Amino acid sequence: MNQGTPKKPDYEREMRRAGIRITRPRRVILDILAGCEDHPDAMEIFQRASAIDKSISLSTVYRTMKLLEGMGAIHRHAFEGGPARFEQASGEHHDHLIDLDTGDVIEFHSRRIEELQDEIARELGYEIVHHRLELYGRRKKRRG
């Protein structure tokens, strides 16, 4: 496997280890999540899942997401002005820039921001245990 390619999460295995039964609808949802490269909300996950299996209900999506979040397998983001979105908990730390016009969520990592946060916390006598940075913006209009 290419070292630059993140490993696909095995949500099914994680749920089995936790003693949670894997139904066909749940397996479809888990497969969709494992292949996601975006930050879908529950309705988007439901639409993708029901395109594969019409018997999947929105409540099954919500219950599955709640289970995965409780297990620490996914992160739930409540970005301002929109529905909660989900992403895989695996992978390296990153922050988010949310496009206010399109709703697109852009992931980024800045060593300078990380260093500044550590410096500020140190000056205040703290050690950062966890943080989340969300920037909200609009694309600059290009001139001429």
Question: Domains in the chain, please, with CATH?
Answer: 11-88 (1.10.10.10), 95-137 (3.30.1490.190)
How far the first Cα of the chain sits from its last, in Å, is 45
pLDDT tens, 31-72? Answer: 998 888 888 889 999 999 999 999 999 999 999 999 988 888
pLDDT tens, 66-119? Answer: 998 888 888 888 877 777 878 877 667 788 898 888 888 888 889 999 999 999
pTM strictly above 0.75 = no
Rounded to whole angstroms, how far apart are CA atoms 98 and 136?
A: 5
Neighbours of 41 (CB within 10 A): 19
Instruction: Single out the residue of 82, 71, 25, 70 nearest to residue 48, CA to CA.
Output: 25
